[in-house]
A and B are shown apart, each in its own frame.
Chain A
Amino acid sequence: MVLGTYKEAVSARATEKQIQKVAQDGGIVTALLSYALDEGIIEGAVVAGPSEELWKPEPLVAMTSEEIISAAGTKYTFSPNVAALKKAVRQYGLEKVGTVGTPCQLNGIRKMQSYPFGTRFLADKMTLVVGIFCMENFPFASLETFINEKMKSSPEVTEKMDIGKGKFWIKALGEDIGFPLKETHGYEQAGCNICPDYTAELADLSTGSVGAPDGWSTVLKRTDAGASIFDQAVKAGIIETKDISTVKPGLPLLEKLSLGKKDGAKKESDNRRELGLPVPF
């Protein structure tokens, strides 16, 4: 179970051109959350919205599709979305909340749902939890080093960031600039080094770029709730799918990367235990 438990894997993308333009990959997160909002399945969604500082996200309680779309695209630094869930329920009064998060963020949400010690009446309001694949995350200062020093560019002209084909990329002034992913090692946050979850195994539905062609996403349907909302969105024509076995590189690459992450995490966890340090899993 190197990808966690799932019902079905598909390759997919949003059909809406406006979403395709701003999304990181297939726009699955944005399309699905907007669809759920429009259909009244959720009343709002916590996403990684823009902040005053370029490329530094800030959790946003989005109440409209426009706001959800404004948060599209990957920011390779922390957006403590979980922190805003309480705000969504208390200040915004939402009964049905959607959200997106990295695997570690989902850990916090799911633990709260199973053991809601101090979080009264939050657990049952988490209606749609979309997970994104994640190999590692970076402190903002690391991103600054990548953009300013390694790629000799600047955040102001950066239009997109991406990791793929062994490189860390930015698109700046219409040009693609990249540098070897190997050189990012040592700049990721240390907490990621023991993280065994690549594919957001505790999500209602997980999505990421690996396995799918450019402009498409790989989707793993996990819980009944996640699968049913996704299938509805496909039926409504919001999302189109392809059989995963027909796309390259497909699931084998995803499985390989996931396994690699688990092995690395185990090695680092063992190292830490040997030093007498605590490791939670």
Chain B
Amino acid sequence: MLARIKRFLGLEDKPKEQAKPIKPKEEESSQQEVEKVADKPKIGYFHLSGCTGDGIALTENYDILAELLTDMVDIVYGQTLVDVWYDDENNPYAIDDMPEMDLALVEGSVCLQDEHSIHELKKLREKAKLVCAFGSCAMNGCFTRYCRGGQQAQPKHEAFLPIGDIVQVDCTIPGCPVSPEIVAKVVVALINGDMDYLQPMLDMAGCTANCGCDLQKNIVNKSLCTGCGTCAMACQTRAIEMREGRPEVNIDRCIKCGICYTHCPRSWFPTEQINKDLGL
């Protein structure tokens, strides 16, 4: 199965020793390549104020999804994927208590005026070893940054925050939505205990505010921009145009997802990982 995922991710023809985990969990290293992972990570999928786009991205790993869900991970909590959630008197499937889990994937920002969401978020922080802001809304608010209430049927629901403003977040996968490939790569890294691969996502977890103007403030203003155009490629709303070799952000189109800055090779650069992936 792991071999199949690697093939799917285009990691197949690398030398054997490079495909191995960098920091294998003790005593498990000899079993890394076996078909079934003995110790499946328990994963919860939480849907706060999100659009399910990130959850859909997970399922868009068509080629490997069935095996991923049966052989590689246990989804122990989630509405859309497993129909298990808790603390809802109107739901016959609701459970009494949230299960313990290795990883909580949290999609969406959190509405301060929605008691249930705040409660679920605090609870999952207690129950999950690792809390991951899954998608830009959870990480930095993304377009829910523009929320301001005044709409039916909950005119009071006006304040939406990245989850890191309320609980401690351990890692983050930005994207609006995240790509199917990054979800698959993260799962593989988790199973392999490849903390080096996950490191940038741990480093970014503290960041709860992004905008297209990150490029101007943190890259152009710091003499780092090379006019490569990666930010314009990555922008999911085509808010960026390259002019005289510099990004120009149409702030009326920008949804504050942070993907431009995340992808800019001058914001952070994973040299070793890239060499490894290329077999160089």
Q: Which residues of B contact A4 (CB under 8 A)?
A: 280
Chain B residues with a Cβ closer than 8 Å to the other chain, count: 53
Q: Which residues of A contact B (CB under 8 A)?
A: 4-5, 59, 77-78, 80-86, 101-102, 104-105, 107-124, 137, 139-141, 189-195, 201-202, 222-224, 272, 277-281
A263 to B194, CA, bound (A): 32
Inter-chain contact A137/B263, CB cutoff 8 Å? no
- State how many angstroms separate the Cβ of A105 from the closest Cβ of chain B: 5
The B interface, classified by DSSP as helix, strand, loop or mixed, is loop
Take A115-B182, A120-B57 as given contacts and tell me if A107 and B233 are in contact as well, using a CB distance cutoff of 8 Å: no
A82 touches B57 (CB 8 A): no
Pairs A–B under 8 Å by Cβ, sample size 8: A102-B226, A108-B230, A108-B264, A116-B185, A141-B244, A222-B280, A223-B280, A280-B269
A88 nearest in chain B by CB position: B233
CA distance A278 to B233 in the complex (A): 23
State the CA gap A222–B279 with chains docked (Å).
9
A119 x B280 contact (CB < 8 A): no
Contacts A80-B228, A119-B179; A190 near B242 (Cβ below 8 A): no
The reply to whether A119 and B226 form a contact with Cβ atoms under 8 Å apart is: no
Report the separation of the CA atoms of residues A268 and B67 in the bound assembly, to the nearest whole angstrom: 50
B52 at the interface (CB under 8 A from A): no
Q: Which of A5, A117, A120, A280 contacts B265 (CB 8 A)?
A: A280
Residues of B within 8 A of A5 (CB): 275, 280
Residues of A contacting B125 with CB < 8 Å?
Answer: none
Further 12 A-B residue pairs, CB within 8 A, beyond A116-B181, A202-B274: A78-B227, A105-B229, A110-B274, A114-B273, A120-B57, A124-B10, A137-B227, A189-B225, A191-B224, A193-B223, A278-B218, A280-B224
Give the shortest distance, in Å, between A106 (CB) and chain B (any CB): 9
Known: A5-B280, A77-B245. A118 touches B226 (CB 8 A): no
Write out the residue numbers on chain A whose beta carbons fall within 8 Å of the beta carbon of B222: 277-278
- What's the Cα separation between A192 and B270 when bound, in Å? 19
Given A113-B277, A116-B182, CB of A107 within 8 Å of CB of B265: yes
Do residues B262 and A118 form an inter-chain contact, with CB atoms below 8 A?
yes
Whether B266 contacts A86 by the Cβ 8 Å rule is no
B220 — nearest CB in chain A belongs to which residue? A191
Min CB distance, A260 to chain B, in Å? 19
Q: Once the chains are docked, how many angstroms separate the CA of A54 from the CA of B240?
A: 24
Alpha-carbon gap, A201 to B175, bound state (A): 28
Q: Is B174's CB under 8 angstroms from A114's CB?
A: no
Q: Hey, what's the 0/1 contact readout for B68-88 against A, CB within 8 Å counting as 1?
A: 000000000000000000000
